[in-house]
Chains A and B, each alone.
Chain A
Amino acid sequence: MKFKIIAGLVLILSVIIASCGSAEDMEFKRYYLGGEQLYKQRCQNCHGTKGEGLSNLIPPLTDSTFLKTNKKQLACIVNNGLKGALVVVNGKSFVGDMPANNIPPVDIARILTYITNSFGNKMGTVKSEDVALSLKDCK
């Protein structure tokens, strides 16, 4: 009888742990889902539902190497936009303007978490603190 109760408790506990996941997972999901909404509102018109961009006019967001190499600059690009900048993505050159967003660091972090973990990218959570740090070094 006692054994059955213990076994039952263990079972319930393991179900709870499995369904909740770790605190980091929860944090990732919060950033990612928030980012998905913001992406739809602010980025998707130009960069597309699949991050595919538009021909040679608007760069795609599928170049994982570009995202990794320019990790520190991503927050600045999202926040301040680009003016006449030359960007090489997926081996193609893009020259043009991107509008500024001027949004709180936490929203930039959400957008970046979404982009860097969608469209074939997998870079983990970009936190609000990381963004605040990056923004200090904008060129």
Chain B
Amino acid sequence: MRKLATLIGVILLYAACKNGGTQATLPIYGNRDTKTITKDGKQVVDTIYQTIPAFRFVNQYGDSITQNSLKGDIYVADFFFTTCPSICPIMHRNMLKVYSEFKNVSDFKIISHSIDPKHDSVPILKKYADGLGISGNSWWLLQGKKDDTYNLSASYLVRRPEESAKELFIHDGYFVLIDKQKRIRGSYDGTDEKDVARMIGDIKTLRAETNPQIAQ
């Protein structure tokens, strides 16, 4: 009887260890559709996932940035404005940790969309980047047509920003993780240190994922 208990114990322990050892795959978020394609002469049903559509913005260096600038990259996107008195300082205090962790990784980027392009000109964004202490091309602060930015927010499944008299702008504090196929793989509360730590773990998981198909 005692031997049996020990045996069960060992099996349970092994199962627990094995479970912890395997790396989970991140879910794919957003709407999905199906398409019938012909593969090797046979008709098969393929899943079409929601992806981030094409865009064109300018970064803090005045360079034009489009979806192609992020080709082959995993990236995190957020929405902010430089004069934001509420959640943005917390978000970017947390984002700095993400930046430090991955700044030397060639296939990872951070993009922060300004929702106040009227104030946040390229020189203002550069000054903000210098103040944050970020350099190089691993974290871009983007600005462009206000409507383009606001419309794009819907593709990231975050709340559309709004202007208000008191808070100036109302927006979400989410960090959205996008894979190399431009699909949404995670959404995290950028104001929560623990959730951002979870995101750092998820970025590592996503980078380890092998998928040769990269969206054009």
Please give the residue numbers on chain A whose beta carbons come within 8 Å of chain B beta carbons, in ascending order.
45-46, 48, 54-58, 97, 99
Contacts and interface: CB of A to CB of B under 8 A. Distances in A.
A45 B85 contact: yes
A54 B85 contact: no
22 contacts: A45-B85, A45-B87, A45-B89, A46-B85, A46-B89, A48-B93, A54-B89, A54-B92, A54-B93, A54-B132, A55-B96, A55-B131, A55-B132, A56-B130, A56-B131, A56-B132, A57-B89, A57-B128, A57-B131, A58-B89, A97-B83, A99-B85
Interface of B: 83, 85-87, 89-90, 92-93, 96, 128, 130-133
Contacts, number: 27
Contacts of A99: 85
Most chain B CB inside 10 Å of its own CB: which residue of A45, A46, A58: A45
A58 B85 CA distance: 11
Contacts of A54: 89, 92-93, 132
Contacts of B132: 54-57
A77 to B, nearest CB: 15
A99 B131 CA distance: 18
Contacts of A97: 83
Nearest to B89: A46
B48 to A, nearest CB: 40
B141 to A, nearest CB: 13
A-B pairs with lowest CB-CB distance, top 9: A57-B131, A55-B133, A56-B131, A46-B89, A55-B132, A54-B89, A99-B85, A54-B93, A45-B90
Nearest to A57: B131
B85 A56 contact: no
Contacts of A46: 85, 89
Nearest to B82: A57
A56 B89 contact: no
A83 to B, nearest CB: 12
Nearest to B191: A45
Given A54-B92, A55-B96, A45 B131 contact: no
A85 B164 CA distance: 26
A55 B131 CA distance: 6
Given A46-B85, A58-B89, 5 more contacts: A45-B89, A54-B93, A56-B130, A56-B133, A57-B132
Contacts of B131: 55-57
A57 B95 CA distance: 14
A9 to B, nearest CB: 52
A45 B131 CA distance: 17
